[in-house]
Amino acid sequence: MVYEKIKTLSAAMEKDMVAQRRDFHKYAETGWFETRTTSIIARHLTKLGYEVLLGEQVCDKDARMGVPSEAALAAHYEKALEWGADPEFAPFTKGGMTGVIGILRCGEGPTVGMRFDIDALGVIESDEPDHRPMAEGFASVNRGAMHSCGHDAHATIGMGVATVLMAIREHLHGTIKLIFQPAEEGVRGAKSIVEKGHLDDVNYFLGSHVTGKKPEDPTVIIPGSTGSLATCKYDVTYRGKSAHAGGAPHMGKNALLAAAAAVVNLYAIPRHGAGASRINVGKLVAGSGRNVIADEAFMEIELRGATTEINDYMIQYAEDILRNTAAMYGCSCEMKLMGAATSNESDPDFCEYLRQLWHEKLGFPVSEKLMLKIGGSEDVSYMVNRVRENGGKATFMRAMTITTGPAHNRRFDFDESLMVPTVQAFCAAVADLLK
């Protein structure tokens, strides 16, 4: 029986998966820098016999957002090689062209797409001795990059799924697409994969995210998600003209004053009657010296909405405020899109189907919740929405485990035993959908 095979194979990989996850954790790479991570996954997929897409085959180059400078990418590339990036595959990632897709064609049948994100966060990892990665020697050696959101697990799970599916391929009828996505943090990468067309032929789509639970909670996996916010991230630069604040204040174009006026008005964007909206100016740096009219101001802004429509309302308003406020103080305004995600909902029918399937075939306890309400943003939304628009079924599952510290925290860690059942959940779904 295929489900027994899935269970056995997955369980047998546990030790390897833990080792792989810790390797990724130690050599954490942030968005568009995932040279080493990409190359290791590519090597694994190649070895297994997958058709492997790399470099410009994965992401639409111009649809990537928040790409770091060429200089920074080049500097990390060298480090990645030192840290053991596979020299055959690494070159494909140059210039921030990271990410890899593995395809397995098993004759006629539908296509199942799966998303595994692989990037770390720009967090300095805790060096406290009771922080397990520190104690057990797998804390990040890449200072300022840390897997504090569990994408090290996601990448490892994806590799496990690849192994198991290849092993049960004779049971499958259809196509498998394993998408290892770069730059999910800051919601910068998914859109460029969707723009490349990789989701256009997908009939069933699954993604998952590590999520904390209470020790006494028996849930293995919650089938879907709801309530994620659409979002847009902008870097905004105002440029004016400096002047001596004592002698000629009228000769300046005060970018600091303009930015301050913009901030107050941004927060004052009228609330939307149809649901939650959000605005944040998280950073503001302006001016050069006390007695000089500031000629430059820089802001990091994000907007969110319960729906894509509400998010669009916020974007439109923010643009109007930013451009007009700059204009009224004689400054220029440059807005650079740094990230974006739409809102998305998992398909309730599909979630119900998965809940039953896992209970029957894998013996998982029936999850009390069908979908978990999440307050943040995730760019898997572009994939979920593209598949559902085309009539497919899609879900973004929550792999439940015990975590240490909240996500994005420098002390984040999790119970690695969640990886095996998550691999099983993905593979059981594929086995049934392509049976």
- 341 CB neighbour count, 10 Å cutoff: 28
Q: Residue type at 40? A: I
Whole-number minimum distance, CB 431 to a second copy, in Å? 36
Where are the alpha helices (H) located in 122-253, listed in sequence order? 132-135, 151-167, 190-195
Per rule CB under 8 A, is residue 336 in the interface with a second copy? no
40/310 with CB nearer a second copy: 310
Structure tokens at 303: 């907007």
Per rule CB under 8 A, is residue 375 in the interface with a second copy? yes
Per rule CB under 8 A, is residue 285 in the interface with a second copy? yes
79/323 with CB nearer a second copy: 323
- CA 201 to centroid of chain Cα atoms: 22
Whole-number minimum distance, CB 402 to a second copy, in Å? 21
Q: Pick the binder of a second copy from 330, 360, 363, 435 (CB under 8 A).
A: 330
Q: Pick the binder of a second copy from 254, 343, 381, 395 (CB under 8 A).
A: 254
Per rule CB under 8 A, is residue 188 in the interface with a second copy? no
Tell me, residue by residue from 143 to 182, as one string, x for binding to a second copy by CB under 8 A and - for no binding: ----------------------------------------
Per rule CB under 8 A, is residue 373 in the interface with a second copy? no
Tell me, residue by residue from 195 to 234, as one string, x for binding to a second copy by CB under 8 A and - for no binding: ----------------------------------x-x-x-
Instruction: Show contacts with a second copy in window 296-315 (CB under 8 A).
Output: 297, 300-302, 304, 313
From residue 409, how far is each of 53, 163, 405 by CA, in Å? 33, 31, 6
Report which of 345, 392, 423, 394 is spatially closest to residue 110, judged by C-alpha positions. Answer: 392
Per rule CB under 8 A, is residue 48 in the interface with a second copy? no
DSSP string, 378-393: -THHHHHHHHHHTT-E
Q: Pick the binder of a second copy from 128, 218, 324, 417 (CB under 8 A).
A: 324
Q: Which residues of 151-174 are buried (b: 16+ CB within 10 A; e: fewer)?
A: bbbbbbbbbbbbbbbbebeebbeb
Per rule CB under 8 A, is residue 259 in the interface with a second copy? yes
Q: Pick the binder of a second copy from 18, 134, 261, 402 (CB under 8 A).
A: 261
Whole-number minimum distance, CB 364 to a second copy, in Å? 28
User: Alpha-carbon distance 429 to 112, whole Å?
Assistant: 9
Beta carbons of 235 and 298 less than 8 angstroms apart: yes
Side-chain-facing half-sphere of 222: CA atoms under 13 Å: 21
Angle between helix 151-167 and 14-26 (nearest 10): 140
**Interacting residues of 239 by C-beta distance below 8 A, sequence separation 6+:** 255, 295, 296, 331, 332, 334
Per rule CB under 8 A, is residue 49 in the interface with a second copy? no
50/329 with CB nearer a second copy: 329
Instruction: Show contacts with a second copy in window 234-253 (CB under 8 A).
Output: 244-252
Q: Which residues bind a second copy (CB under 8 A)?
A: 186, 229, 231, 233, 244-252, 254, 256-257, 259-261, 263-265, 267-294, 297, 300-302, 304, 313, 320-321, 323-325, 327-330, 338, 375-377
